[in-house]
Each structure stands twice: as structure tokens, then as C-alpha cells.
Structure 1
Amino acid sequence: MSRVEALHALLPQTQCTRCGYPDCRAYAQAIADGEAEINRCPPGGSEGVARLARATGRPALPLDPECGAEGPRQLAVIDEAWCIGCTLCIEVCPTDAILGTHKRMHTVIEPYCTGCELCIPVCPVDCIALLNVTPGQTGWDAWSSAQAEQALERYEARQLRLVRAAQAHTERQIAKAQAKLADLESHTHGLEGPDAEGEAARKRAVIEAALAKARARQRGE
């Protein structure tokens, strides 16, 4: 196991981004690279800092207040009477813990919610509340290794799904552009002579530019 993987395994995997990094792995990488302190994970709390201190040999610092405070595990709860089905909460949930479709009521799948709170600020009707489900227990006392493993599995599955969806979208764009290039004459119907040639050249340039952009995105550029 690499140093980054070892540090990553010590994090609670809530993917809350309160550490200032896009996910737990990015935070682990920053710690390994010496770019981040070990006290930036509120969900892990003081015990989480202690674990990272032992793994890195650094002193166990108090939790950085800029990242938030240690607290009990929170569960997101949607007020179904006010939910407008905008799907914004679904789009930001790192573990696909929210079920619903456009203009239909959403609901939280309780075992999969990490309490990351990312759904709260995006809700336009303020219909999501946080419920304290571990009163008297905070940090790693409120969150188990099994829950962390499940959260990581679901997060990675979601990331893979998003990548595949983006790839499929790009492939559809490429196919659509290629079809337009192959049938360019139909897009200049009714024009003749120089006008037709000029319009065809303009459309070809636009389509080829879109095609080049899509192919670059497909290559990860």
C-alpha cells in the first residue's frame, strides 16, 4: 500500500470537501505531499487527527476551525411536501444517496448518507434538514470503518458512472457531427452558386471545430 493509500484509508470517506479538497483522496495526497495539515477533517474529529499523526509522525494539532467543528453524525432529511424535484441535490450527492427524478419527489436513502451536507446549500426551496443520528457521539465514535468503506465504494462507483456518462455523451456528439458532415448538402438546401459554397464552407468549419473539440475531450485534453 502506498503512502497516499495508507493515509486515505484513515479518512472517514464522507467526501464532504470541508478540508478544502475535492474529495478524501485528494486530501490524502496533499498530506502525503506536505501541502496540507492533518487537522482539516471535521468528520474524523480529534481521533482522526490522532490517527493521521501516528501515520505521519506529525504532532496532533487541534482541529482547524476554518474547516468546521467535530460533531455527531448528521443525516439529511428531505421535507417531501416542499421538494420541487429540481434534482440539484442528486447532482451533488457524492454517494448517490438521494433517490428521485426531475419534477418528482426526492428522498434520502438513509444507510448511504454520509452527512456531507453538500445538498443543503444547493436546495432552492430549503427543504433539506440535518438530523442528529448519533447524540453524544462525534467523529469516529459516530462513524465506523465499515461505513467508511461503503461510502468509498459508492463514491468510486458514482465517479465511474459519471465518467462513462460523459464518454457516452461525447461519442454521441461525435457521431452527430460526422453525420452532419456526411450530409452537408441538405443543410444548404435552397442556395445556389457562391452562396451555397460559402454557406457550406461556413457550416463545415463550424462542424469540424465542434468535432475536433469533442475528440479532444474524448482524449482527455
Structure 2
Amino acid sequence: MSGQPQDPQTAQLAERINAALPQTQCTRCGFADCAAYAHAIASGEAAINQCPPGGAEGVARLAAITGQSALALNPEHGLEKPRALAVIDEDWCIGCTRCMKVCPTDAIVGIHKRMHTILDEHCTGCELCVDACPVDCISMEEVTGEATGWDAWSPELQEQARSRYSARQARLRAASELSYVARTPTRTTPADAETRQATIEAIVAQARHTD
């Protein structure tokens, strides 16, 4: 996505496009998340056929919103498939937490050096945890039979994924800000130093007078 600010019309179009994306946040489109892909489409920097989770129907929805002609899904970004859930092999999980760090919806719970667990109801099937696992103990299990794309998804799952992703992003930003504050040394101005010195001298003088 371009670093230049978008005009209101482009920003509004990006919002409409983002609302039509599944919100799996899988990055297969080539962008950091669904919102970034939406902005790229609105800015003319990306095609409308780069979202495998949305499938053919997803491309048709984006074509209707943008006024572009519908295209076949670009196989370079993946194929339309049934929805899948991540499954952790308990015998091999080493509790490294790497999968938790990449899960866009906080659908993985656990603590360091202890087995992790997938919360099926929050898993978007993004597959990001599969590549992150150093011991290959995570696999994907298809759960929608022959239903693919939007037939395997729903507006309810879309909204839940979007909401949880937004909450995760807010949490990470807050944690980053707290970390920055903790690492930033407190700067003392000359005036502060003079005030503090004067206070110390006054306390010492008062103590001596009391004695």
C-alpha cells in the first residue's frame, strides 16, 4: 500500500472493499492484512482476484464494488478450498509460543514450554501458525466438506474474525507503547535539577536546625 494519504473517495471505496473480504487475515493476497489489501485495490495497486478464502464469489463481490470485470482467482495466491481449522499434535508441541505470536485472532492459547490449544470457534484457517511452528506439529483439518469460499464462511464468522483481529491489534499497540515508555529514560531539565537541589538543601537545613 502506498505511504501517501488517500483521498476521501478512495478511502471510502477501501472501506467497502474491506467489508466484502472474509477477514481471515491470512496474508495470501500479498498484503499484511485484509484492510491493507482493500486499500491496495482501491488505489489501483492490486487486482481483485488475490483472495483465496473469498474464492470466486469473493472476486465477484469485489468486481461489483469496484466496477471491474470479474477475473479467475489468481493461483499464485492460492486455490479456493474448504474452510480448515488448525490442529496441534499434543505429542510434539514444545510450547515455544511462536504460533501464538502470529495468530491474527488470538485463537491459540497456552504458556511457554506448555502445550498449546486451538480455540476452534476463533480459528480463521489462515495457516500462519503452520509455517511458524518449528517442529511441524500443526496441521490443517478441513471442516466444511465440499463447501468452499464464501459457501464455507459466513457474515457472522467474518465479523467475529474482524473484531478479534482489531482487538488483537489494539492490544499489541498498547503493549508496544508501554514497552517504549519503560525503555525511555526520564529526562530531567536544568530547572528540574535546580528545584530538586533546592528542595534537598532545604530539607538538610531544616534537619540541622532541628538538631
Q: Give the TM interval when normalised to the shorter protein.
A: 0.7 to 0.9
Provide the secondary structure at the position in 1 that maps to 2:86: strand
TM-score (norm 1): 0.79
Instruction: Kindly state the Cα deviation for residue 178 of structure 1 after the two structures are TM-superposed.
Output: 3.1
Gaps of 5+ in 1: 180-221
Partner of 2:46: 36
Q: Per-residue displacement from partner, 1:132-166 (whole Å, max 9, x unpaired)?
A: 00011000000001100000000000000000000
Instruction: Kindly state the Cα deviation for residue 3 of structure 1 after the two structures are TM-superposed.
Output: 1.2
Q: Does 1:74 align with 2:87?
A: no
Partner of 2:207: none
Matches within 5 A, 1:1-221: 2-174=12-184, 177-178=185-186
Partners in 2 of 1:129 and 1:4 — Cα distance?
33
Q: Per-residue displacement from partner, 1:27-80 (whole Å, max 9, x unpaired)?
A: 000010011110000000000000001111101100001000000001000011
Partner of 1:207: none
Matched pairs, number: 178
Partners in 1 of 2:156 and 2:13 — Cα distance?
21
Q: Which has the larger radius of gyration?
A: 2
Identity %: 61
Partners in 2 of 1:96 and 1:122 — Cα distance?
14
The one-letter amino acid paired with 2:16 is A
Partner of 1:211: none
Deviation >6 Å, runs of 4+ = none
Let me know the Cα RMSD of the aligned residues.
1.4
Q: Per-residue displacement from partner, 1:157-178 (whole Å, max 9, x unpaired)?
A: 000000000000011112xx33
Q: Per-residue displacement from partner, 1:193-219 (whole Å, max 9, x unpaired)?
A: xxxxxxxxxxxxxxxxxxxxxxxxxxx
Partners in 2 of 1:20 and 1:90 — Cα distance?
21
